[in-house]
Structures are given as C-alpha cells and as structure tokens.
Structure 1
Amino acid sequence: MLECILNEDGVYLTLVEGETRTRFHAIWLRDNAWDAATRSADNGQRLIALRDIPQETRISAATLTGATLSVTFAPEDKTVDYDVSWLLQNAYDRTDAAQPGWTKSSVETWDAELMSRIPVASFASVSTDPAALKTWLGQIARFGFGKLADGPIEDLALMKVVDLFGYVRETNYGRHFEVRTEVNPTNLAYTGLGLQAHTDNPYRDPVPTIQVLYCLESSAAGGENMVVDGFRVAEQLRSENEDWFNVLARHCAHFEYAGSDGVMLRSRRPMIELAPDGELIGVRFNNRSTAAITDVPFDEMATYYAAYRRMGEIIDDPAMEVSFRLEPGESFLVDNRRVLHARKGYAGTGTRWFQGCYADMDSLNSKLAVLEAAEDAAQLEAAE
C-alpha cells in the first residue's frame, strides 16, 4: 500500500511503498507542477520562471487519492495534483553511486557477436509503416547503428533516408559528399586505402551526431564496411586498466582539419567523454585528425599514450568488429558519438560510389519518441 509522509517543516515529502521510500523536495514538486498556470497546455513548456516561485516554498498539506497525489504549497496556498506513476518515473532519490563510464539501460553495447543480428530494415517498409520505422529507429538508439536495404538506386537517395527522421546537417563538405577514388584527394576517405575504425569529424564542436553512407555502385573487390562499438571499447579498457580509462576521460585531446582551402577546424575534447555524473556519452577517435596532445601533464603523458595505444588495439581487434558489404541501394547509419566505422581497402578495378551526409541524433530521438507516444496512445484507446 502506498503512503505519503510529510516531514515536519514541509521541505519534502516521502512516498512509501513497502520497503521503498522515495523523497521529493517541495521546490522540485512546485517547479514540476503541470497546472494550467505553470505549464502551457499546448506544448508543455513552463509559463513561469523559478524567480516566480517563492524561495521559501514549503508543503503545507499532501494527500493521496488512488493514483493522484495532491500537494498544497505555502505561502502561495496553491494545490497541485500529480500522477504518482509520473513522480516515480522521474524520481531522483537514489543512493547508489554509478561507476564512471556507466550507460543507460536503453543502451546495449556489443562486439562481433552482433553479426548474427545486425539491425536492418527494408527502405520500403520504414517509408510506409510507422511501426517498422519505430523499430528501426529504436535499434539505432540501442545499438548506435542500423542498415537499410532495397532503397532506390539514384543520385541523392540518401536524402530520403534522412527525411525519415530529421534534417541534413550541412558542413564544409556540402549537404552531401561523394566517396570514391579521386586524383589528388582532399581526404583519405576518397582513396582506395583501408581506413582504421574512427569517428567522423572529431575536429568539429559539436560533431555531427549521425552519419549516413549510401551505396550507388559497388563492383570493385573489397571495400567492406566495418563498425565498432566505441562504448564497448571504453568498457573493455576500463575493465583492463581503470587508470588508462580515467586518463583518457580526464584530459582533452586536440583534433584538427585543414585539408581544403578556407577551412581550418579545431576542437579540444577527451577521447572518452563522460557526463558530470560519470555517464559515458561519447567517444572521439580518429588517428588521421589527432593533433599534438598538449593538455596532459608531463607526469601523466606516458600513461596517456599507453592508454591511447591500448584503446587503438582494442578497436582493431577483429573480435570487436561487425562487417558487411553494401550493395547498390543499401545504406547504413551510425551514431557518430559512439560507433566507429571503417572500410577495408578496395581494388582499383571496377567502381565503388558511395554518397554520405550528416544529420543529428536529436531529430532521430524526437521522431522515435513521437512514434512511441502514438503507439502507446493507440494501445490505450484499444484497451478502452
């Protein structure tokens, strides 16, 4: 049975269910009120600022009626109703300290074993069936990449992939870029050389968080695409040597690119990026674009390079890679903050023509959330 207990001075209340006790501060509850005077009914945005809430806000009364918690705040003498399930879903009263490098439960890290269940969908299916699109986008959010098959074989077909969830992010390479052998290339990606697994554009701040590569021609021998989960790499490095993990997370590397006229891009970010609470939120690894590393103290530089070397060895380990060959009309998408991609070398005979572009995960996550909400609403309506 759920109970509500108010502390003596009204600074917080506690929801008690069995042995579970979850506390909520008065100021937090007032700030998260969903009444018409506090939130817009149209878009859910706040209509007031924190300065409009009295600093001395306290709870003067709290009652539970079924799944609804009614809270009265002083000195406003304002009563607000809360859905208990929403409160528990958004509870912040936790005592467990997560290990640096933790990931959300919605994230699944992987290695070569994912070869047997590569996230793939049909272009026609995700273009016409919202449920299929939701499943595919959900796989990308979970694994950090996904393939599409049976797409149109036409110039700029990759734009139709981005249209499924968001918008192209234009860069100095344009709205899209061609990936095929060129004379005097401005980037090693435009040669037949193999490329070490890497994240793209680490010299940008922020980096494009999605990359799309679309195959239009593929008769040259070789050139298989490979992906590596940077989060799994970071996890393995941490399990082998926590000091190495920490030194790459604690100090910034420098990345730069000046391969074309009028462009000089630079960024300063760690190779392993953590949120303030230790969540693993990004990996930047690109040997071609790493500049002189100058933000590591002298006494830690040897450790840093040992960690950097080992991270590269883990990335290069075939046990970490998922590889596949793209045929015309096929494409793949990667979360560029997490998944490293690579290409094996290909022969100079035949043709190999890919087109690529960048987009961002916020649009993908938004589209996924909308599809999930629509599905939940449909299921609720059907149940009624």
Structure 2
Amino acid sequence: MRTLTQVLLHEQKGIVEVSWQDGTRGLFHGAWLRDNCPVYFDNSTGQRTKNTLQLGPEAYVLSACAAGPAKGQLSSGVSAEFLQVTWKDGFSHAFPSAWLRQHCYETRQHHQVNPRMWGRDLVSYFPGYVLPTLPYSDVVKVAAGSDAGWQTSAQGFVQWMVHLRDYGVALIEDVPTTPGTVMKMADLIAYHRKTHYGNSFQVVSARKPEHLAYTPVELEVHTDLNYRESSPGIQLLHCLAADAAGGESTFVDGFWVAETLRRESAEDYRTLCEVPIPFLVKDGEGFHYHKIPTICLDDAGRLVEIHFNERTRGPLELPAAVMGRVYRALAHFQAIACRPELCVEVKMKAGDMVAFNNRRILHGRKAFDPRTGMRHLEGTYVDMDEFLTCLRKHGVTPLSIVRAQEGSWARVVEGTDGLEEKGKRREPLGMVGMGGKGKGSAPRSSL
C-alpha cells in the first residue's frame, strides 16, 4: 500500500503527482518538497537549518521519477519505494514513499480531531457511569522510595486524556481528598496555569464572595475566563467534600449546542461566528476585558471553541442595526444550551475529579443548601497546547500518523483518531476541530 506505482511531473504547474499501490493519489508542489526536504532539518531539534524561501526559480523541479531501494530510476508501472526529485539548481533528493504518504498535505489532517458530540445520551456510552470515568488507581501510581511521588499509569492516564479529548469531559473517581491534589494532577499533564484567582481556586460558599461561584446559588452553564486573551483550555475540579443537599454539577457539549443552532438558524449561527462579544471581570482596582465570538471556527469551518458566560458578558458595543440580531442569536444559543436533552447532570462525591475542555464544554451547578453540609471543590487550569503536547508525547495523534508502541496499552488503529473502546470503534457524532480558533465569516486558523 505504501509503494509508488506512478509518478507524473506537471512541469508548468511545478507539481509532482504520485500514485500509491492502493490507488491513493498525492500532489506535491516542488517548492513544498524542497522546503520540507529532511536534509534541511536538524536531527536533534527538528528545526529547519536552511532558508528555502529565497530559492526562487531554483526550487523548480527539473525531473521526478520512481526509484527502487537502491534509489535507481525504475521504468514506468513498476512499484517503487522512493520518489527521486531533481531541481533546476542540480540539488536532488530521494523521498521515501512512506514519508510522502504520511505528509500528503492535501489529505493530511494530523492536527484535526473528531470529537464525539453528545447530549444526555452520553450516559449510554459508559454503562454504570454518567461521564467517561476511570478509577484513580488506573490513572495515577504513587511511587515509593527514591522515586517517591506521583507518576502516570501509562494505560489509564492516556485513556483518560483521550476521553477528555474526544468527549470534552472525563472523570476520575476515588482520588485522595488532600488539598492540592488537583494541581498534582494538572502537573502530570504539563503544569498548572496560574490566574488572578491563584494557582488553584476553592469553590466554597463565602460570606463576601468575589465571584458568584463562591455562593450557593444555581450557576447556569458557561465557559470560564472568556475575559482573558487566551482562556484556559482545560479545567480540573476536585471534589473534597459533598455533604450539602443539592449542588449537582451540570455539563453541556457546547459544540452540540452550536451545531443545533446552525441547523435551526443559519443566520443566528453566522452572527455568533462573526460578532465578537465583550467579557469583563473585576480584579482588585482594575478589570480584565476581552472580546471574542461565541462560536470560533478554524480555516476549514470546523468548530474549535465556544465562549459563553452570561455572568461575565459585558455591555455590547455594536451598531444599533446589529444589536437586535446579536441579542436574538445569543438568546437562541442560551435556550438550546438549557434544553434538558442536552444536559448531563452528576452529583459529585468526595474523591471525584472532573476535567473538561473549557473552550467546548459548558459547565454549571445546581443550587445547594450550605446549612445541610459542606460542599468544597478545588480547581485549577491547564493550557490546551500543553494538553495536546502531552498526548503527542504519549504517542497519541489524531489520524494516520498514530502508531502503536511496543507493549502498547491499547490497540491504536491506523487511519482512526484514537482508541478502540472495548473492541468496538465508536463512530464520531460530528466532525469538528480542536485547538486553534478563527474569527469572522471567513474563518481563519490560529493554533
């Protein structure tokens, strides 16, 4: 499947066309091949060592042909393991067929993931649980002796992160209820992100709260810290005490809300993709302020981020002609997010730790009665790029470049975007993105 069967040079366009044994076709521009030639990259750092942008006409391909193991030219129609390319300045390189297939940029989507969008039906995916759940002992191991401290338990830790990546939310149960544990968990991914609330924050009822989260009132579903230029990607909440009546945690898939909005009103969907919404919060004598669309897309129009919080939304600063349209779209989005069939509700118990994609999952809380007992959650944040990098370090990447490691913890299937769960491949409920954000009617990428 990875051997070449045909090579064609479209000289006027500067494009090399190759075909593989399984019928797959790839188009490679000569400038791209020269720019990404492996000899121009440092083996240790992986960084480019030559400025290829200034080559100009020298980057035009003079010839291209299939080559065998000895990199000798083969006759047409014969399978080959290399693509031999020669440029007009005399530089030549043999590109392995497998490398070309892996880097076929027209079909390559290595950084795209296919999250599973869900509503209340999420409970049916994991019998016996409301959320994707793993026991603490499967995720973390505590070493003794000279190696004392927290370490990841490779199989469970990566499976937990894959659930978090795909579903946007994952829970660990039976976690020790020691204060500071949530930061240890965050630091297993990379390192926790400090905000104006500190390295971590305590969600308890306070007499003079600086935030509504520190009261016993109901909190409608929302995303956090939209008033920052880059809101945290992952939020972790560790339940230290849950004796109070009420206080159930609520989770809604913001991607599914956006997709439902798109189906019900293309105009409202487009409005929330195009119009930046202001968010602000007091911080001592000053305040944080940022504007961002409710729905962010990548350059291919895929959903990548949701930003919605009615408590911290600032006054809209829009032309009068647009104002009514934006209010209508926001109200429509909120109404969908509040539909019972889209919400998963869970009563967290002491020792539960939930993590969720703060740029996708809307989270909230039912009211609770502090007179009936204590409710105490400790939380912290991790940046999304650190989370995705941690996945890559463990050999998990979205599509065909995923490779099973020797003695792997799970069978990783080439051409899929993650794990096979209990021998059955779960089909994604929607095709969306994760990572960078684009803003406006003509979406652009970022990450």
TM-score of the aligned structures, taking structure 1 as reference length: 0.90
- Greater helix share, structure number: 1
Aligned to 1:99: none
Alignment of 1:68 onto 2:81: yes
Alignment of 1:189-200 (within 5 A): 189-200=213-224
Q: CA distance change for structure 1 residues 217 and 243 in 2, over 3 Å: closer, same or farther?
A: same
Alignment of 1:31 onto 2:35: yes
- CA apart distance, 1:243: 0.8
Whole-Å Cα distance in 1 between the matches of residues 112 and 341 of structure 2? 24
Alignment of 1:337 onto 2:359: yes
Whole-Å Cα distance in 1 between the matches of residues 316 and 301 of structure 2? 23
Contact preservation (8 Å) 2:138, 2:155: no
Contact preservation (8 Å) 1:229, 1:339: yes
Aligned to 2:53: 51
Q: CA distance change for structure 1 residues 186 and 126 in 2, over 3 Å: closer, same or farther?
A: same
Aligned to 2:436: none
2:155 aligned to 131, 144, 160, which one?
A: 131
* Alpha-carbon displacement from aligned partner over 1:268-287 (angstroms, at most 9, x marks no partner): 11011112332211110000
Amino acid at match of 2:334: G
Aligned to 1:251: 275
- CA apart distance, 1:9: 3.8
1:13 aligned to 16, 21, 27, which one?
A: 16
Aligned to 2:168: 144
Amino acid at match of 1:22: G
Q: Which moved more, 1:55-64 or 1:345-354?
A: 55-64
- CA apart distance, 1:342: 0.6
Q: Which moved more, 1:76-85 or 1:25-34?
A: 76-85
The SS at the match of 2:118 is coil
- Structure 2 residue runs without a partner (length 5+): 69-78, 142-152, 397-401, 409-447
Q: CA distance change for structure 1 residues 11 and 114 in 2, over 3 Å: closer, same or farther?
A: same
Aligned to 1:309: 331
Aligned to 2:145: none
Q: Which moved more, 1:360-369 or 1:208-217?
A: 360-369
Q: CA distance change for structure 1 residues 234 and 324 in 2, over 3 Å: closer, same or farther?
A: same
2:303 aligned to 269, 280, 305, which one?
A: 280
Aligned to 1:78: 91
Q: Which moved more, 1:131-140 or 1:70-79?
A: 70-79
Contact preservation (8 Å) 2:83, 2:97: no
Aligned residues: 368
Q: Which moved more, 1:284-293 or 1:111-120?
A: 111-120
TM-score of the aligned structures, taking structure 2 as reference length: 0.78
Whole-Å Cα distance in 2 between the matches of residues 336 and 49 of structure 1? 39
Contact preservation (8 Å) 1:57, 1:73: no
**Superposition misfits of 4+ residues, deviation over 6 angstroms:** none
Contact preservation (8 Å) 1:72, 1:79: yes
Amino acid at match of 1:218: A
Alignment of 1:1-384 (within 5 A): 2-9=5-12, 11-17=14-20, 20-35=24-39, 38-64=40-66, 65=68, 68-93=81-106, 104-116=112-124, 117=126, 118-128=131-141, 129-258=153-282, 260-295=283-318, 297-349=319-371, 350-372=373-395, 376-378=404-406
- CA apart distance, 1:375: 6.7
- Structure 1 residue runs without a partner (length 5+): 95-102
Contact preservation (8 Å) 2:242, 2:375: yes
Amino acid at match of 2:390: K
Whole-Å Cα distance in 2 between the matches of residues 372 and 20 of structure 1? 25
- CA apart distance, 1:367: 1.5
